[in-house]
A and B are shown apart, each in its own frame.
Chain A
Amino acid sequence: MAIPAQGIIMEFEIILFIMAIGFASLIITLVLCLTGKKIGAKNKIERQIFEVKFFNFQLKLVPFFYLTMILIMFIIGIFSDFLVNSIVGLIIALIPFIIYWIFDHKKFGLVRE
Chain B
Amino acid sequence: MSFTEINNNYNFGSESLHIFTIMIFIVWLIFLVYSLKIYKTKKTIRYFIPIFIASIIGELCAQASGSFYYPGYFMYFSALGETFPVIIGLGWSVNLFLFLHMGKDVVTRVYQKQNFKQLFFISIFAGLFAVCLDFLEDPLAHHNGWWVWNQSVQRITIFEVPLTNYIGWFVIIGGMTFLTLLIDRSRFSENRKLVINLSAPFIVFILLGPYFLLR
Interface residues of A (CB under 8 A from B): 11, 14-19, 21-26, 28-29, 32-33, 36-41, 46-50, 60-63, 65-66, 68-70, 72-74, 76-77, 79-80, 82, 85-86, 88-90, 92-93, 95-96, 99-100, 103-105, 108
| Closest chain A residue to B207, Cβ basis | A22
Closest to B185 in A: A41
The smallest C-beta distance from B12 to any residue of chain A, in angstroms, reads 13
Query: Looking at the complex, which of B3-11, B68-76, B115-123, B127-135 is the stretch in contact with chain A?
Result: B127-135
The prevalent SS among residues of B at the interface is: helix
Quick one: which of B38, B133, B209 contacts A22, CB cutoff 8 A? B209
A12 to B16, CA, bound (A): 40
| Sample of 15 A–B contacts (CB below 8 Å) | A22-B205, A22-B209, A28-B196, A38-B186, A40-B187, A50-B38, A60-B105, A73-B137, A76-B144, A80-B143, A80-B144, A85-B159, A92-B132, A92-B135, A99-B106
From A15, A49, A82, contact of B212 by CB (8 A): A15
- B156 at the A/B interface (Cβ < 8 Å)? no
How many chain B residues sit at the interface, stated as a range, is 35 or more
A37 to chain B, nearest CB (A): 7
Asked if A33 and B196 sit within 8 Å, CB to CB, the answer is: yes
Which residues of chain B (125-163) have a CB below 8 Å from chain A?
Answer: 128-129, 132-133, 135-137, 139-140, 143-144, 159
Q: Is B36 an interface residue (CB 8 A)?
A: no
How far in angstroms is the closest Cβ of chain A from B88? 15
Asked if A70 meets B188 with Cβ closer than 8 Å, knowing A22-B209, A29-B199, A60-B105, the reply is: no
The docked-state distance in angstroms from the alpha carbon of A97 to that of B69 is: 30
